[in-house]
Amino acid sequence: MRILQLVHQYPPQFVGGTELYTQSLAQGLSARGHEVGVFHRASAPGTGLAQREEGGAIVWDAWHGRVTALSRIVAAFHDPVLTAYVNTILDEWQPDVVHIQHLMGLPTTLIPLLRRRDIPFAITLHDYWWVCANAQLLTNYSQRICGGPCAYINCACCALARAGVPYGLPAVPALAVVLAERARRLRRGLRQATLLIAPSRFVMRWYTDHVAPGAEIRVVPHGLVSPPKGQLQRRGEGPLRCLYVGGLSWQKGVHVVIEAVSPLGNATLAIAGDEAADPQYSARLRSLAGPNTRFMGRLSRSAVWDALRAADLLVVPSLWYETFSIVVREAFAVGIPVLVSDLGALSEAVRDGIDGLCLPPGDVAAWRGAIDSLSTDPDRLAAMRGAVGPPVSMEEHLGTIEKLYAGCV
């Protein structure tokens, strides 16, 4: 098959869960004999379209100015430059199927464009962007989990708070109308998809309850590329080695686990993440950290595997509804248990008390108690290690995706 992946951004300029998944999927499908292309929006001044080859797949880097929070919203309604680029690729390349990974910063008019050309397309629901312009169901004005739009007034307040603009009465109704129209277009796009895919049961249920009642959404957990060979470093007589790997932003709850570990004399915490992404929050984390906490900075993929093998357990203290967690599966791939917030898809990723623990989100005392207990109970920690099973492999995942594409065609 000839398969085109549409995604909002892509490595090496942007590195995140959706981007890394799309990259692995494209290269994996190419290795299985398919012709694979990836179209994404880059952030750069001016306009342009460049083509390169990466891992057997064609990658089209398209840019139309630097990407900002405002440009992402504006592009959702209309972007003739990006639309023209996609049109050209569809004309010349003629894919059998298109897989939309994300459209943030890309025009929603691409969906009716695919419909007019009668090209089947799948959409993976990586987050809540199809409903929430913030993508994470977290309010910028109160930093709380959001239940969804309420006449889009709350959405307007959230957008203005993110932009640092006081959300006074005159601006809110007008922006609410804009966001309601955005949501209408995106809902219509979901209804027109040939196939909807969710990475977890939680995401499938949320979209079924809030956006697409009666829709058939296939649950397909992401696959994991096999880790490079290496030796797990077993714990000796020293303190319990906790590891956090991921973004350094408030919704990831890193401050919770720092506060939990800092007073403990029998545990250490290593934090791998890019402090430059949110300097203000990173400064707060450093102010909370004790001598048993160290910051490792942003790690390469090979360094992430090394860090996981050097840890006794992974901590994922998120404060939002995670839709999936690749790093949890990476921890399982090397055989270490995971502590997660009992929230969203994390609750179904870990078997509570078997290969990890599900803890109350944001509850510093609960996290401290769990880490302290494991640090003094090596038998329990060893039992959890022994119960860790291998995650779904990328090869298994690719086989499932191939069958779904074939069904679309």
pLDDT bracket for residue 157 (50, 70, 90): confident
**pLDDT tens, 4-34?**
999 999 999 988 889 989 999 999 999 999 9
Selection from 385, 334, 378, 336 nearest residue 231 by Cα: 334
Domain 2-137+182-223+394-408 listed as CATH 1.20.1050.10:
no
What per-residue confidence (pLDDT) applies to 132? 87
Give the model confidence (pLDDT) of 270-303 as tens digits.
Answer: 999 999 989 999 999 999 999 999 999 999 989 9
Contacts of 409 (CB under 8 A, 6+ apart): 1, 96, 97, 120
What does the domain layout of the chain look like in residue ranges? 2-137+182-223+394-408, 240-387
So what's the pLDDT on residue 28? Answer: 96
In the structure, what pLDDT confidence band is assigned to residue 116 with cuts at 50, 70 and 90? very high
Nearest residue to 221 via CA among 407, 388, 390: 390
Least confident window among 47-56, 100-109, 169-178, 312-321: 169-178
| Separation CA 85–CA 244 (nearest Å) | 40
Q: Is the pLDDT of residue 152 over 90?
A: no
Instruction: Give the mean pLDDT of 109-137.
Output: 93
Place of tokens 């004005």: 141
> Has domain 240-387 been given CATH number 3.40.710.10?
no
* pLDDT band, very low/low/confident/very high, at 147 (cuts 50, 70, 90): confident
pLDDT for the residue 167? 60
Phi/psi at 171 (5° precision): -80, -30
Phi and psi, residue 232, nearest 5°: -70, 130
- Asked if domains 2-137+182-223+394-408 and 240-387 share a fold, the reply is yes
d(CA 230, CA 232): 7
